[in-house]
Structures are given as structure tokens and as C-alpha cells.
Amino acid sequence: MDHLAAACGATNLPLERSLRQTSNRPAPQPKRRRTPNERLLQTMDAKFLIPEKRPKSSMDGDGERVRVTVRLRPPTKAEQRDDEGPFIFLDTDRNTVVLRRTLENAVVYMNISAGMCMGFSVEVAFAIPFYLNQPLSMHVQSGRGSFEAFTEFQFDGVLPSGCQQVDVYNTAARPVVLDVLQGYNGTIMAYGQTGAGKTYTLSDKLACGGMSVEGIIPRSAAEIFARAEQDNDNEYHVSMSYIQIYMEQIQDLLRPESCNMQIREGETGVYVSGIQEVEVKSAEDVMKLLLLGDRNRAFSFTKLNAHSSRSHAIVILTVERKAKNFSEPASEASDRPHSGSSAGFLEGERVLVGKLFLVDLAGSERLKKSGSEGIRASEAMSVNLSLTCLGKCIGARADPNATHVPFRDSKLTRLLQESLGGNAKTSLIINIAPCNDYLRESLSSLSFGSRAMKVATRAIVNVEEEFRVLTKNLQDTLEMQDERLQSLEASILSKEEQLVQARRSLEERTKQVEMLRKEQNSFNEKFMEQLRLKDDHWSHRLEIVRNAAVDSQRKRIRYLQEELEKLKEVDGQQGTTIAVLSNDLAKVLCNPDLHSDYAARVIQRSYRRRYLLKLQRVTT
């Protein structure tokens, strides 16, 4: 039966086949001594290998849940020397893993099957709480001495140590990547103890002996870009972020100066504030960034792994898909679930946004085994604490009666909140090592995976409005507003200057007006004074003139009266003269000798002259 151990452990042939071989095999040769494992396997009935409490599968059609795949690492040279025989059995047909444990010097009175416990030894006590809650069967021999216990787990997939990276990708990652291309969030997470092969599974990128050993991250990137290239109807935009959680601090591995970044919660879930998102155009771009980030990641030598990751690393690939010529019937759009805001998005351009989280967890380690001291020990303790918190969150999510999930107890669980039973399709890879020393850790990892299978998820297609268009519009608007603001500021400045100048000139004018007013007042006063003086002067002069005028008038009147008197007197004399002259004229006229024109004219002329002279004298 030596070949049974080889078949089950080293080459990982299905256990069932091994059992069948065992049962069909003729009776063992008497010279060959059977191992306790073989003896026990022979005594087991078929029912033993069928789990009593099988977790619901998404294949059952009853909602979706976290999918779990187990990967067994090939043994190292040192592990190959382990002559205790195989203790991990993988059945790839039934997707089961069986652990064989030896209970040394145990006093065991127990038969656990379907959760029944009659008694237990000190050594198995630690495992009982797990066993009773897990989808497993356990069988031990009752009695005293060394005993072997077999524990069975069933998962969505089990990958033996001989499997290729491409098999791991196809089983555990590809369905999630395809969902991400459809607009779902996806998480692929590797869990297991230090040195179990998590980093190898996720991000190995070296070509080994001509064989491609690329891990899940390079393969996912290649698949995304290959699909995007083939798709003629849609255009894709992919960006990448790479962060690590080291000693409970988030650091951007693509911009290492950004450390202790904060987790915030927005409409679309939790996110790391200020995270660097680099646009990637090909799988090669992803690899370059992965190498760049890895250079900044915390690794160190431990006894368990020469290149041990001391931090949880998370690669985030954001895939945005947009129809080249978008025209979707409204009814179809409204029928489909989405996480974008319903208001207004039907009118705008829309994109399907799928986020792929590729999580390489740091491994748990026992300080005694790893020999870590100082800062290495602190790192390990921080990692162990966050993994414990992860376990608690998974436990709470798996328990339908749990009322509180302690996501906020660690940065890791807070960031992976949506991946642990929220809006994400989650695939968990449990990495285990084929080594007796790590059996306890493997048991713990398998128990974790088994519980994770009970966590239901509720992924939805994320539909967002074309944020680049919105951003561009917003930027244009902002630029316009900026320009307007600048011109307004300039005009305000010039107005202010004008105002200052106007104020200054107003002050000057006011001063001038004040001065003028004063001048005017003094002038007025002077003028009034002058006026008063002039008034007095002129009234005096007027009085004098008036008096003089009155005097002269009086004199004139008197003179005129006198002249009148004289005139009257002359007039009386004139009358006498005229009478005399009339007589003279009558005499002349009666005298024919004097009767000539000449004589008459001479007389008239002389009289008239005399008369006028007299008149002139009278009037002047």
C-alpha cells in the first residue's frame, strides 16, 4: 500500500479512486506491513467521506456565494524527505480534501460524525469548535495511544500540487474576470500560511524552463485586453492601482510617498482616498506597474519563506466598458439592476464599471516557527491580527443569526467589505503546503475556506454615467467660470482703482468747494460791507445832487418866470410896435411913391430881422 500514499499525496490522484483501488484490491500480502492510515481507510465505510452539512453552492441555483478553491503546493526538497507518508488527500472528482492527523499519546473516547462528540483529548480540543461548525466528518479510533484522525472538507475546486498555473486561472479566476468585463465587481483572494504559495499563485511572472508560470494577475490582464481587442461593439478603458496594507497603514505602491492613506465610503462603496489610478493599455503595462509596485512592497527573509510578504497587497484593475454606438432600449435598461443613480442616467452616455480586486494576503505565521524577532515579529503580529479579523468577518457573514460584522476592526476587512458578502463576485484560493509541520495551519486555512463558502454575495452590474464626458464638461465649465472670474476680478480691480481715484478727486473737489465757499462768504461779507458803504455814499451824493437839481430847477423856474414877465412885457411892447408898424405900413401903402415892391420887401425884411432878434433874446 505504499503506492496508495504516493497516489493520494504526492501525485494527488483522487482519493475516491484510491479507495476504490483499495476496496477492489485482493487481500494484502502477509509480508507487507500496513500503515495505520491504510488500516483506518479499510475500516471506514463509504458514508464517512460524504460531508453531513454541505454548504449551498451557487450551482444549486439558490443565490450566489463566495467560491473557494484549494491549491496544494508541491513539496520542497526538504518536505519530500518527510517519511511520515502523505497526510493530505485530494479528490479532484468530488472536490474534497482529507487531512490525516496523528494524535500522539491521546486518550480518546470519541467518535465525531455529524457533530456528535462523546469525549476528546487535550490535543483535539482546539479543533472541536471548528469541527462542530464545519461541513466535515471526522473519525478517530477510540482507545489509548497514537491514533489517526481524518477530517474532510469539500470545496468548489481542488487543485493538486501537479496542477499548472493555467489550471488555477481557469478554475478560480477566469469566471470572475469574465464577470468583471460585464460590469460586476470581482475579488480573487489568496489565503494561507506563509510559504504556502499565495504570491506564486497570484503574481508569479517569471518564465521557468520555457514553461509559462505566470500567475493570476498577468493572466487576468491578458484576458481583459484580449477580450477588449476582440470586442468590436464596445470600447474599453482600463486603469490599475496597487496598494499594500503594512502594519495597519495603507501605502500606494505606485506612489510610495503616499502612505497612511485613508479609507472613505462613497455612493459606490468603500475606496482609498487619493489612490493613484494609472491608465493601462496592455497586459505589458500591467506587468510593468506590478514590477514597479513589487519593488516598493515589504518582503523579508523568514525561516518559513525566504521572500516572505510582510503586507497584504491589493491590485485593483478597473475596467470600464462603453458601447461604441450606444442605443439601448429604455425598457431593457430599466429592467437590469444597476448601482448607478437612476435619476438622469438614461439620457446620458453610460459605462459598465467592473472592479477586479486581486488580493495577495500576507500569510499567518507562528513566531516560534518563523523565528521572527523585533520588527519582523511586529509585522507578523499585525498580519495575524488582521487575518483574525478577516476570519471573524467571514464567520459573522456565514452565520445567518449574526447581527454585527466587525469590518471596521482592521483596514483589510474595511477595504474588502464589499468582497466579503457584498457587491462582488468573490473567489477565494486556499493555499496549503504538503508538510506535516504545517498541518495545523492547513487545517485552520481549510476551516476558513469552508466557512467562506457559506458567505452569500449579491453582485450587481455597476452602471455609471460617462464620467470622463462629465469630467470634461465640468472642466470646461470650470475653465469658463475661471475666465469669467478672472475678467470679473480684473474689472473689479479697475473699478476699485477708479473708485479710489474718484474718491480722491471728490475729496479734492470738496476741499476746493469748501475753500470757494469760504472765499465766497468772505467776499460776500466784504461786498455787503462795500455795499453798505456805497449805499451811504450814494444816498449822500444823491441827496446833494437832488438838492442841487432842486435848487437849479428852482432858479430856472424863477428865471423863466422872470423871463416870462419880461416876455409879457416885451409882448406888450411888441403889440404897440406892431400897431405902429401897421400904421406905418398903411401910410406907406397909401403913398403911391413908396408903392413899389422893392420898398415893401426892404421894410418887411428890416422889421422881421428886428423882431427875430428880439425873440431870440427873449428865449435865451
**Residue of 363, 391, 421, 434 interacting with ligand ADP (CB under 6 A):** 363
Nearer to ligand ADP, 364 or 457 (CB): 364
* Contacts of 496 by beta carbon, 8 Å cutoff, 6+ apart: none
Angle formed by the axes of helices 216-230 and 283-296, nearest 10°: 150
Q: Is 324 annotated as a binding residue?
A: no
Contact 202, 216 (CB under 8 A): yes
Nearer to ligand ADP, 160 or 340 (CB): 160
192 interface partner picked from ligand ADP, Mg ion, none, CB below 5 to 8 A per type: ligand ADP
Nearer to ligand ADP, 37 or 431 (CB): 431
Q: Is 192 annotated as a binding residue?
A: yes
**Residue of 121, 137, 199, 244 interacting with Mg ion (CB under 5 A):** 199
SS3 214: coil
Q: What is the DSSP letter of 167?
A: H
Nearer to ligand ADP, 192 or 421 (CB): 192
Q: Is 199 near ligand ADP (CB under 6 A)?
A: yes
**Residue of 95, 121, 220, 305 interacting with ligand ADP (CB under 6 A):** 305
What separation in angstroms does the CA of 210 have from each of 88, 189, 283, 394?
Answer: 30, 27, 20, 40
Q: How far is the CB of 106 from ligand ADP (least distance, A)?
A: 31
**Binding marks (x or -) toward ligand ADP, 402..431, rule CB under 6 A?**
-----------------------------x
**Residue of 65, 198, 397, 414 interacting with ligand ADP (CB under 6 A):** 198
Q: How far is the CB of 218 from Mg ion (least distance, A)?
A: 16
SS3 109: coil
SS3 333: helix
Ramachandran region, residue 147 (left: φ > 0; alpha: ψ -120 to 50; beta: rest)? beta
Q: Is 303 annotated as a binding residue?
A: no
d(CA 177, CA 426): 10
Q: Across 92-208, where does the E strand assignment appear? A: 96-108, 138-139, 143-154, 157-159, 186-192, 207-208
Q: Which residue carries 477510540 as its cell?
A: 142
Contact 311, 375 (CB under 8 A): no
Q: Is 198 annotated as a binding residue?
A: yes
Q: Which stretch binds ligand ADP (CB under 6 A): 87-95, 187-195, 225-233, 440-448?
A: 187-195
* Contacts of 132 by beta carbon, 8 Å cutoff, 6+ apart: 115, 117
Helices (H) and strands (E) in the chain, counts: 18, 22
Q: Is 199 annotated as a binding residue?
A: yes
d(CA 226, CA 46): 46
Nearer to Mg ion, 199 or 241 (CB): 199
Nearer to Mg ion, 65 or 198 (CB): 198
User: Which residues, 596 to 615, sit near Mg ion by CB under 5 A?
Assistant: none
Q: Is 197 near ligand ADP (CB under 6 A)?
A: yes
Distance separating the N- and C-terminal Cα atoms of the chain: 187
Nearer to ligand ADP, 121 or 193 (CB): 193
Q: Which stretch binds Mg ion (CB under 5 A): 307-315, 531-539, 551-559, 591-599?
A: 307-315
55 interface partner picked from ligand ADP, Mg ion, none, CB below 5 to 8 A per type: none
Q: Is 194 annotated as a binding residue?
A: yes
Binding-site residues sit at 192-199
Contact residues for Mg ion, defined by CB under 5 A: 198-199, 309
Binding-site residues for ATP sit at 192-199
Contact residues for ligand ADP, defined by CB under 6 A: 73-74, 192, 194-200, 305, 307-309, 363, 431
